[in-house]
Amino acid sequence: MSKRAIITGVSGQDGSYLAELLLDRGYEVVGVVRRLSAPNHWRIEHLLDRIDLRPGDLLDQLSLIRLVDEVRPHEIYNLAAMSFVPASWDQPMLTGEYNAQGVTRLLEALRQVDTSIRYYQASSSEMFGKVRETPQNERTPFYPRSPYGAAKAFAHHITVNYRESYDLFAVSGILFNHESPRRGLEFVTRKVSDGVARIKLGRARTLVLGNLDARRDWGFAGDYVRAMWSMLQQDAPSDYVVATGVSHSVRDLVETAFSHVGLDWRDHVRTDARFLRPADIEHLVGDASKARGVLGWQPTVDFRTLVRTMVDADLQRLAGAGEPAPAAAAGR
């Protein structure tokens, strides 16, 4: 009998890669989507005849109970969230509703319907914020620097709390930044790959960014969803950091992306204070020893390959081929 999995946030970057992975492994995949007047399904267009899309919303407790009861999944992957850090300063309450209390609602639905369902919580390196040690591992204290990070820290703790209180198989994957050609255009990697492609094709002359000194540990999203799945296949639930262990600055990112197409970034990149954050995180780099040791996980795509792949995909897309994508970058 095949396993059934629910993925919330299935239309996002990670949801689309995880749906592919689970389908490949013979799962029945139920994807949860919020009702929108203009559905945003470009990342899962190629999967729509193979996944069962159901309405649900992390703000609506009853929709979650009904969903879990009707589907009776073996596994739930909670990838739904308000995912863009700057937006969390504009809508801190809504960020808390989705990223913090939404997790409690989903855990509560699972607890009421069937406590044998395994649960994955998408936690984030943003919880480390103003870092207490470098590199960060599962025991590093949290010091979030945004409403996004604060809400994710709550979600992490409530997941651990439900595991310990109700004996659930609930795990928290602390994933460092992970990117791909399916990343939203507002995130810095994709903003850069899209900007470089536009400049190379003569459709733009400059790319305006914020903090070039920030350093992140950037990996490939396709690698990271393997770690999510693997966490739910273990004998015992536990939390894991997932990261490459290598960090680069935003300046390294633009240098790598522009030089890939034979351009000098200094001729095209400008900075503007409107892309700075009220509080930024200067340096994140993860220690994924536990995931490597216990899950046998390791990344297959290094930073340079990732950036080049993203630039090539945007060149192809803008030249009229390749994956579809939304027309314009949203906001910051």
SS3 (DSSP) at 67: helix
What is the C-alpha separation between 313 and 323, in angstroms, rounded?
A: 8
Q: Is 62 exposed, middle or buried (0-12, 13-18, 19+ CB in 10 A)?
A: exposed
Q: Which stretch binds ligand GDP (CB under 6 A): 66-74, 101-109, 207-215, 313-321?
A: 207-215
Closest by CA to 7, choosing from 83, 82, 58, is 58
Binding mask 239-258 toward ligand GDP (x if CB under 6 A, else -) reads -----------x--------
Q: Which of 16, 83, 88, 124 is catalytic?
A: 124
What is the C-alpha separation between 47 and 29, in angstroms, rounded?
A: 10
Verify binding: residue 210, ligand GDP, rule CB under 6 A.
yes
Min dist CB 139 to ligand GDP, Å, is 21
Residue with tokens 């639905």: 109
**φ, ψ at 268 (rounded to 5°):** -130, -25
Residue 124 falls in the annotated catalytic set:
yes
What is the C-alpha separation between 34 and 80, in angstroms, rounded?
A: 10
Min dist CB 143 to ligand GDP, Å, is 15
Q: Which stretch binds ligand GDP (CB under 6 A): 158-166, 205-213, 287-295, 316-324?
A: 205-213
Verify binding: residue 136, ligand GDP, rule CB under 6 A.
no
Min dist CB 214 to ligand GDP, Å, is 3
3: CB partners within 8 A, 6+ apart: 26, 27, 28, 74, 75
What is the C-alpha separation between 152 and 129, in angstroms, rounded?
A: 11
Verify binding: residue 152, ligand GDP, rule CB under 6 A.
no
Given 211, 244, 247, 256, the residue binding ligand GDP (CB under 6 A) = 211
Verify binding: residue 160, ligand GDP, rule CB under 6 A.
no
Question: Which of 45/213 has CB closer to ligand GDP?
Answer: 213
SS3 (DSSP) at 5: strand
Verify binding: residue 214, ligand GDP, rule CB under 6 A.
yes
Verify binding: residue 269, ligand GDP, rule CB under 6 A.
no
Min dist CB 62 to ligand GDP, Å, is 31
- Give 3-state DSSP helix, strand, coil % of the chain, rounded to 5: 40, 15, 40
Given 157, 187, 230, 251, the residue binding ligand GDP (CB under 6 A) = 187
Residue 126 falls in the annotated catalytic set:
yes
Question: Which DSSP letter does residue 29 get?
Answer: E
Question: Which of 51/269 has CB closer to ligand GDP?
Answer: 269
What is the C-alpha separation between 246 and 285, in angstroms, rounded?
A: 6
Closest by CA to 155, choosing from 174, 135, 131, is 174
Verify binding: residue 199, ligand GDP, rule CB under 6 A.
no
Residues at the contact surface with ligand GDP, assessed by CB under 6 A: 85, 126, 177, 186-189, 191, 209-211, 214, 216, 250, 275, 277, 280-281, 332
**Active site residue ranges:** 124, 126, 148
